[in-house]
Homo-oligomer: A and B are copies of this chain.
Amino acid sequence: MTLTTQRPRIGIIGTGAIGGFYGLMLARAGFDVHFLLRSEFAAVCRQGLRVDSQVHGPLLLAPVNAHRSVADMPPCDWLLVGAKSTSNADLAPLIAQAAAPGARIVLLQNGLGVEDQLRALLPETLHILGGLCFIAVYRQAPGVVVHQSGGAVNLGYHSGPASESAQRQAVVEEGAALLRAAGVDSQAMADLQQARWQKLVWNVPYNGLSVVLQAGTGALMNDPAVRELIVSLMNEVIQGAAACGHVLPEQYAQTLFSFTEKMPDYWPSMYLDYRERRPLELQAIYEAPLNAARAAGCDMPQVRMLYQALTFIDRRQRADVPAALA
């Protein structure tokens, strides 16, 4: 534990937009950050990691502690997982291998149940935390990330060796302090599941509608019919959360809606996944919440409809991809 509190070593698993942004911020603050890279390895070795931030200005990290294989990475005290939740099962052995004893694994992913899935595949000695990112960021090219706005990461403890509430809180506070030291706003959350449901209130309407309607937030928020639909979907998610025991703050839908209205036009990550022909994160963002709400006696008919439409679109797209590329 001494290592951890003095100068923790941080590993980034999945150096896309999210992993790239937070990894760069932490490295700039002097942390020893190591990046696991696949397709972007050569580009990052050659030109470094770039974040064109509309908040902080242009940022460049070069050279980068870039690793093509997890076997080359030193053991990390913190692992930030920025990869898509669709690949969690494949990532588990890599995470276990990169983790120092007692490491903290932070899933910077959307949706519900992502920690449960990894928990079953990781040693009990590892802490798992969930991190909810409030950020508009996308990958522009290999090694180049565009940061449009936001950046906060709220952390909550999921499971692991910290059995007492105070211990869990200490681990989470440690992570939040680490992010804040890197200039990233971060709060410790008492209830990770509640926080995940809160984030779903945004992700469920905007991610799905961006794919079905092929539109960014600007166009969606500009249409009176879609505005009504967004509010209606948000309210279903809030009812689903309540059925699962998570009463969200009053006016929460209205708050997110007004916030999105003021955002610059944004293409949610699911749209980018669709455009890049990657599998959509339907399990974590739709199926798991629908199942949880249904188990608690709550139907979410419009969320279900959106999920069904997305399932069709995702299946068709994957069927279209030649096997060699899939």
Residues of A within 8 A of B (CB): 209, 212-213, 215, 219-220, 223, 225-226, 228-229, 232, 301-302, 304-309, 311-313, 315-316
Q: Is A305 a contact partner of B213 (Cβ separation < 8 A)? A: no
Q: With a 10 A CB-CB cut-off, give which of A209, A220, A225 has the most chain B CB atoms.
A: A225
Interface of A is mostly: helix
Interchain CB contact under 8 A, A229 and B302: no
What separation, in Å, do the CA atoms of A316 and B219 have in the docked complex? 9
Output the nearest chain B residue to A209 by Cβ-Cβ distance. Answer: B309
Return the contact of A312 from the options B223, B312, B313 (Cβ within 8 A).
B223
* Shortest CB distance A227–B (Å): 9
For the complex, give the distance between the alpha carbons of A192 and B220 in Å: 38
Chain B residue with Cβ nearest A228: B308
Residues in B with CB closer than 8 Å to A209 are: 309
Q: Tell me, in angstroms, the Cα distance from A220 to B226 when the chains sit together.
A: 23
* Contacting pair B229 A309 (CB below 8 A): yes
Of the residues B220, B223, B228, B315, contact of A315 by C-beta under 8 Å: B223
List residues of chain B with CB within 8 A of the CB of A229: 305, 308-309
Contact A225 B316 (CB under 8 A): no
The closest CB in chain B to the CB of A282 belongs to B225
Which residue of chain B lies nearest to A315 when distances are taken between CB atoms in the complex? B223
Q: How far is the CA of A286 from the CA of B223 in the complex (A)?
A: 18
Determine the distance from Cα of A315 to Cα of B225 in the docked complex, in whole angstroms: 10
Chain B: which residue is nearest A311 at the CB level?
B225
A307 touches B225 (CB 8 A): yes
Known: A225-B309, A301-B301, A305-B306. 17 other contacts (CB 8 A): A213-B309, A213-B313, A215-B316, A223-B311, A223-B312, A223-B315, A225-B307, A225-B308, A225-B311, A226-B308, A226-B309, A226-B311, A226-B312, A228-B308, A229-B308, A232-B305, A301-B302
